[in-house]
Amino acid sequence: MRSLLVAAIVLGAGAACKAPQLDDEARYATDPTFRRALLTETLLGESHYVKVRLQHYASGDALDWDRHDEWNPQRLDGPLETLGHDAFFRYPAQIAPEGASLTAIPFGVAVEVGGPRPLVALTCATCHTRRQADGSLTVGASNRDFDFGALLAASSNDPEFARTRRAWGPGKVDVSSRDGTEPVAIPDLRPVRYQTHLQYAGAVAQTRLVALALRIETLIITAHGGALRPPRKLTLALARYVWSLAPPLPQSSHRSSRGAAVFAQYCAGCHRGAERSGPPVFVERVGTDPTAARSSWRGTGKYRVPSLVGVGDRTPLLHDGSVEDLTGLLDPARSGGHAFTVGINDTDRAALREFLDAH
Amino acid sequence: MRKRSRLVSLLGVIVVFVLSGLHGVAIAKRSDKPTRSRPTAAQCATNRGTNGKLREWAHSACKTDADCKAGKNGRCTQVYGGGRLPPTNECSYDGCFTDKDCGAGTACECGHSADATTAGEAHQCVAAECKVDADCGAGGFCSPSYSLCSRGRDVGKYYCHTPKDECMVDSDCPPPSEKGYGPTDVKCSFSAPTRRWVCMTEQCPVG
């Protein structure tokens, strides 16, 4: 299918006798040179994560992931506007650990692949959709009830493997280290649109929408051991869908309040602009647990600056989920790093809280 | 102008032809047989060594084998947690000795160490689509594939090799790139979605 798509474009270019002007999304879908350039443009640092992708994605390497056939067992298709939602809830992003039943996987899917039994798989929604007490769904929010480590532990006959995975607890997963000793909180995807960088350590620059699509593509490829790749139409749709989950940007009318002044003094140095995000900050400055930032698997020495748009509705906070919510973050008695607001007085704290809650 | 247009079109056809033949990994020669398979049903050793008396780590379930009485061949074993988790002692038990001890869809994976002075790994029932090579047809092989982000002995499941396989053994897979990106572990593993053995890189939790 990819070849036919490329053929249509190349032959079309031949007929017109000039290079077609393709936008980012079309080039991402059809041009391996563009994808390679996009990969190198967005990967930061020299971690294992970066090296593996440079080695295998559109690299010409013998194990080039770019050459794999597309895997779309659910035959998901349709307009990008609806395909993203469908893929978020139905595309098998990762095969579940051996022995896991569908009932143990929120928003999991069963996939027929010709084996003795259907495969049970996780979807994006498994980790990134929260079912609230009233039964409603918050799409994009981290699923704090999902204990992936427990499922992995139950699937293994290696006691050390099992012990480290059990130690993660619900709502956390180690997506980086091979020994499972660097768990982080499952992130909330709703503010992703406003992030300059992706992943807690900011190893991927989100320069544009297709950077997120590429990030999602390599994420699914590595989750399947580099043995297959998702359709790029699907990863583009997912990227668009994730961006669509973003809360609205704050209104300018709030910027003259007392809370806005407190925010400008204590927060805006890192959480900049309307998006209240910004480039990653060295872990020494942030002061939180440095494990993920300094990880040889995926670390950059820094932590990304999460967008604070909608932060009042987000839980837990910080990369390791060590703070329950905004109330906990602004608690003057709190320890554990990110102490930028610890010294402010009660009036200013209340104003800041009101300011952040307002948008 | 028309000549140039034809030339570009021809190049397009060549590009399509080349790209359409590039799916999959180019394996120079696939090995004839896997490193590990099951020509006969499992028959695991019944004797098991001992680790002796262990240091008493916090939160340990045992100090000696005598504390492990909940199963067969109970042995007190030190388990490392990795990272900041301190070691601990846990009991390990043999879960089987032959395939018949395991239920449907599982096979007995023999453990224990060749060194009789340690307890080694316990025998365990593991998931299996096949139990012996003969289950995979004449001349077939039933081999263990590794599980998600696994290490060392950890076996995910036994699968049959297929004619569509890209590889039989790890050494069939291309060596790490010489482009200086660093080593990548590549194992000949069973890809459950595509139902064949392929050269796979790491397979860790999605994220």
Q: What digits encode the pLDDT tens for the residues B19-63? A: 333 345 556 678 999 999 999 999 999 999 888 888 888 889 999
Q: Characterise B41 by phi-psi region: left (phi > 0), alpha (psi -120 to 50), beta (else).
A: beta
The Cα of A347 is separated from the nearest Cα of chain B by a number of Å equal to 40
pLDDT for B21: 36
Closest A-chain CA to B159: A115
* Average pLDDT score over residue span B92-97: 95
pLDDT for B184: 66
pLDDT for B28: 62
Residue with token string 């580099």: A226
pLDDT at A136 over 80: yes
CB–CB of B193 and A113 under 8 A? Answer: yes
Nearest Cα neighbor of B184 from A202, A200, A226, A183 is A226
CB neighbour list of residue A153: distance below 8 Å, 6 or more residues apart = A161, A162, A163, A165, A166
pLDDT for B54: 86
A129-131 and A109-111 strand pairing: unpaired
Give bridge partners of residue B98 from the DSSP assignment. B43
Cβ atoms of A189 and A130 within 8 Å: the answer is no
- What 3-state DSSP class applies to B149? coil
Q: Which residue has the higher pLDDT, B155 or B135?
A: B135
Residue with token string 């204990």: A147
pLDDT in tens, A286-296: 999 999 999 98
Cβ atoms of A352 and A344 within 8 Å: the answer is yes
Report the range out of A156-170, A247-261, B76-90, B142-156 with the highest average pLDDT. A156-170
The Cα of B143 is separated from the nearest Cα of chain A by a number of Å equal to 16
pLDDT averaged over every residue in chain A: 91
A-B Cβ pairs (cutoff 8 Å, strict) = 215
* Among the partner residues A61, A156, A182, nearest to B154 by beta-carbon distance: A156
Burial of A55 (0-12, 13-18, 19+ CB in 10 A): buried
Cβ atoms of A135 and A143 within 8 Å: the answer is no
Backbone φ and ψ for A109, nearest 5 degrees, come out as -135, 150
Report the range out of A31-45, A148-162, B39-53, B137-151 with the highest average pLDDT. A31-45
Chain A residues touching B150 at Cβ < 8 A: 156, 158, 161
The pLDDT-based confidence of B16 (bands split at 50, 70, 90) is very low
pLDDT for A314: 96
pLDDT at A121 over 90: yes
Whether the CB of A73 is below 8 Å from some CB of chain B: the reply is yes
Chain A residues touching B22 at Cβ < 8 A: 64, 67
* Among the partner residues A10, A62, A68, nearest to B15 by beta-carbon distance: A10
Whether the CB of B77 is below 8 Å from some CB of chain A: the reply is yes
Please state which of the ranges A85-94, A106-115, A318-327, B147-156 shows the lowest mean pLDDT.
Answer: B147-156
pLDDT for A99: 86
The Cα of A92 is separated from the nearest Cα of chain B by a number of Å equal to 10
pLDDT in tens, A146-204: 999 999 998 887 888 888 899 999 999 999 888 888 999 999 999 999 999 999 999 99
pLDDT for B14: 41
CB–CB of B24 and A68 under 8 A? Answer: yes
Please state which of the ranges A216-220, A256-260, B156-160, B201-205 shows the lowest mean pLDDT.
Answer: B201-205
> Which residue type sits at A275?
E
Percent of chain A at pLDDT > 90 equals 78
pLDDT for B146: 78
pLDDT for B56: 84
HSE toward the beta carbon, residue B169, CA cutoff 13 A? 10
CB neighbour list of residue A129: distance below 8 Å, 6 or more residues apart = A89, A106, A107, A137, A138, A139, A140, A141, A143
pLDDT in tens, A245-275: 999 998 765 556 899 999 999 999 999 999 9
> Which residue type sits at B41?
A
Residue with token string 């493997």: A161
Q: Which residue has the higher pLDDT, A190 or B16?
A: A190
CB–CB of A92 and B83 under 8 A? Answer: no
CB–CB of A55 and B179 under 8 A? Answer: yes
Percent of chain B at pLDDT > 90 equals 51
The pLDDT-based confidence of B15 (bands split at 50, 70, 90) is very low
* Average pLDDT score over residue span B192-196: 94
pLDDT for B179: 58
H or E element at residue B107: strand B106-109
pLDDT at B13 over 80: no
Whether the CB of A144 is below 8 Å from some CB of chain B: the reply is no
Surface of A (27-56) touching B: CB under 8 A: 48, 51-52, 54-56
Strand runs (DSSP E) across A166-260, as ranges?
172-173, 184-185, 197-198, 204-205
* Among the partner residues A64, A95, A179, nearest to B83 by beta-carbon distance: A179
- What whole-number distance in Å separates Cα of residue A223 and Cα of residue A230? 11
pLDDT at B83 over 90: no
* Average pLDDT score over residue span B108-133: 86
Closest A-chain CA to B1: A17
* Average pLDDT score over residue span A58-69: 88
The Cα of A326 is separated from the nearest Cα of chain B by a number of Å equal to 25
What totals of helices (H) and strands (E) does chain B contain, helices first? 1, 8
Give bridge partners of residue A131 from the DSSP assignment. A137
pLDDT for B53: 85
Backbone φ and ψ for B115, nearest 5 degrees, come out as -85, 110
B91-112: buried (b, 16+ CB within 10 Å) or exposed (e) per residue? Answer: bbbbbbbebebbeeebbbbbbb
Surface of A (112-131) touching B: CB under 8 A: 113-116, 119, 122, 127
Please write down the HEC assignment for all residues of B1-67.
CHHHHHHHHHHHHHHHHHHHCCCCCCCCCCCCCCCCCCCCCCECCCCCCCCCCCCCCCCCCCCCHHH
Whether the CB of B174 is below 8 Å from some CB of chain A: the reply is yes
DSSP A248: P
* Average pLDDT score over residue span A16-34: 81
Distance of CA A30 to the CA centre of its chain: 24
pLDDT for A262: 96
pLDDT for B9: 46
* Among the partner residues A119, A156, A160, nearest to B79 by beta-carbon distance: A160
* Average pLDDT score over residue span B140-149: 85
Closest A-chain CA to B28: A62
The pLDDT-based confidence of B206 (bands split at 50, 70, 90) is confident
